[in-house]
Amino acid sequence: MATVDDCDVTMDPEMEILSDEEMEREAESFKEQGNAYYIKKDYSEAFNYYTKAIDMCPKNSSYYGNRAATLMMLSRHREALEDSQQAVRLDDTFMKGHLREGKCHLSLGNAMAASRCFHRVLELEPDNSQAQQEVKSADSVLEYEKMAEIGFEKRDFRMVVFCMDRALESASACHRFKVLKAECLAMLGRYPEAQSVASDILRMDSTNGDALYVRGLCLYYEDCIDKAVQFFVQALRMAPDHEKARLACRNAKALKAKKEDGNKAFKDGNYDAAYELYSEALTIDPNNIKTNAKLFCNRGTVGSKLKKIDQAIEDCTKAIKLDETYIKAYLRRAQCYLDKEEYDEAVRDYEKVYQTEKTKEHKHLLKNAQLELKKSKRKDYYKVLGVDKNATEDEIKKAYRKRALMHHPDRHSSASAEVQKEEEKKFKEVGEAFTVLSDPKKKSRYDSGHDLEDDTGNMGADFDANNIFKAFFGGGGGQGYSFEANQCLRASRTLWKDDHFHLLRFQRMRLAAYVIAKECCALGSRNV
């Protein structure tokens, strides 16, 4: 077996053992080279030479101080803090060491520790202007921290963002301040800014639980729930006690489940259940603006199916208040306004939609609403007759018969002049409505919103409702609103058979007309 004595060991000439004095000179040479690179702003090379100096002479506080200054320029503040602390441990009177330690603490957001370091400098050198200024900076950061804490409790997120911006001017490397700012930006709906801040932190520290939580929060508030949950889970993996991430993860899962259950109930036609499920989902997280806007709109859609039109409009309005760019909510609300025949509001919503998205479909919807608005400003003949817009020809005839007899002036001959005038006007309107709705061409043009002035031949001036009445019930000419024999016979039959309740009101009719009607009725009974 070979022994040590058998080995021929060749010593590296450069590995010769130096004396302490030589090592100090070598270390000083490295320091000088490091200073030269520092002046040139080549901080990486300066760092290398200061490290060589420390390796040669690890008990020299100034070397640690210089390397700390270099690390600060490289934005490696935590390493710089360690070097600064080592420097003052080696020499508690090393003023620059205390000053640099304080700056590192301040940059990292520990203003109280920074303040202690600066006060130590002032103990060593009471007139040190730099330390005096740094004390003020540390005090300002502490004050902004307090203001931000109060603002967060009051949910004044704009105030928190303002305070953090001011604090970060001194504490530029403080991840805690940046995360708080990012969280508040997310709460304000400024998601791109919040994500940018969080991503910057994660580039430097991929395991930062707070930054992972904020990234997830932004995705959660943008209704990307599946991706958000992934970030929350990752944040909890990095920081198992992260309560905010745990709560957000639970809310995200619950919100997704309720929303999906509501959607399924809606598709299955179970509108009452869908309404309740969407309502329950809305109570999970009031801060999730985008998802809640969709839930309000969904509930509004269900409300319209359940004929809760006012509630549907209210829900759509809430959705729009949460998200002013939510086109679907405007469209749903506009349709509800149409259903309520509130055409001005419907047109206003469709105009907003068309201004945002100029599609053919939206243009068509706007034109239809404008047409309905135009039609609503005309006389509504369907309302005059008391029938639906889809009424059949027989239903229109039956409605005319009832309304014409109800408003016939002879029925109100003993009423006051004012009542007679009003009934005469209604009688005329009934005849006018029947003239239009009983004529297929006129009805079609009326339903399409066309002007009927040319078709009706100045109906307001020359139209004779009595002629329509005679033509409908049968009968010859005659003047005014008098009944002729055949006309009275038909009218009386109708009154006895279809409108006998109102016959009781004939007590106030003109005596002559009543006698004629009664005789006609008797004659009709003998001939039936």
Lowest-confidence segment of 89-93, 198-202, 389-393 by average pLDDT: 389-393
Proportion of the chain above pLDDT 70, given as a percent:
82
Q: What pLDDT was estimated at residue 380?
A: 82
Chain segment 198-216, per-residue pLDDT in tens:
999 999 899 999 999 999 9
What CA–CA distances, in Å, run from 345 to 304, 309, 350, 353, 363?
Answer: 17, 14, 9, 13, 16
Q: Contact at 8 Å (CB) between 295 and 266?
A: no
Q: What pLDDT was estimated at residue 410?
A: 81
Nearest to 130 by CA among 139, 140, 121, 142: 121
Has residue 497 got a pLDDT over 50? Answer: no
Mean pLDDT of 374-387: 84
**What are the DSSP calls for 237-302, one per residue?**
HH-TT-HHHHHHHHHHHHHHHHHHHHHHHHHTT-HHHHHHHHHHHTTT-TT-HHHHHHHHHHHHHH
Q: What pLDDT was estimated at residue 420?
A: 84
Mean pLDDT of 362-379: 89
Q: Contact at 8 Å (CB) between 381 and 407?
A: no
234-248 burial: b if 16+ Cβ within 10 Å, else e: bbbebbeebebbbeb
Q: What pLDDT was estimated at residue 516?
A: 39
Residue 364: band (very low, low, confident or very high) from pLDDT cuts 50, 70, 90? very high
Q: What pLDDT was estimated at residue 6?
A: 44
- Most confident residue range from 322-326, 389-393, 430-434: 322-326
Lowest-confidence segment of 261-270, 292-301, 442-451, 472-481 by average pLDDT: 472-481
Q: Contact at 8 Å (CB) between 312 and 336?
A: yes
Residue reference for tokens 């009471």: 126
Q: 353 or 526: whose pLDDT is higher?
A: 353
Chain segment 13-38, per-residue pLDDT in tens:
454 566 778 888 999 999 999 999 99
Q: What pLDDT was estimated at residue 461?
A: 45
Q: Which amino acid is at 433?
A: A
Provide the CB-side half-sphere exposure for 145 (13 A, CA): 16
Give the Cα separation of 330 and 317 in Å (integer).
8
Model pTM score: 0.66
Has residue 519 got a pLDDT over 60? Answer: no
Q: What pLDDT was estimated at residue 452?
A: 62
Chain segment 411-458, per-residue pLDDT in tens:
888 888 888 888 888 888 888 888 888 888 888 888 877 766 555 444
Q: 438 or 185: whose pLDDT is higher?
A: 185
Q: What pLDDT was estimated at residue 430?
A: 84
Q: What pLDDT was estimated at residue 396?
A: 87
Give the Cα separation of 283 and 303 in Å (integer).
18
Proportion of the chain above pLDDT 90, given as a percent:
64
Has residue 514 got a pLDDT over 80? Answer: no
Mean pLDDT of 358-385: 89
Give the Cα separation of 110 and 170 in Å (integer).
11
Chain segment 120-168, per-residue pLDDT in tens:
999 999 999 999 999 999 999 999 999 999 999 999 999 999 999 999 9
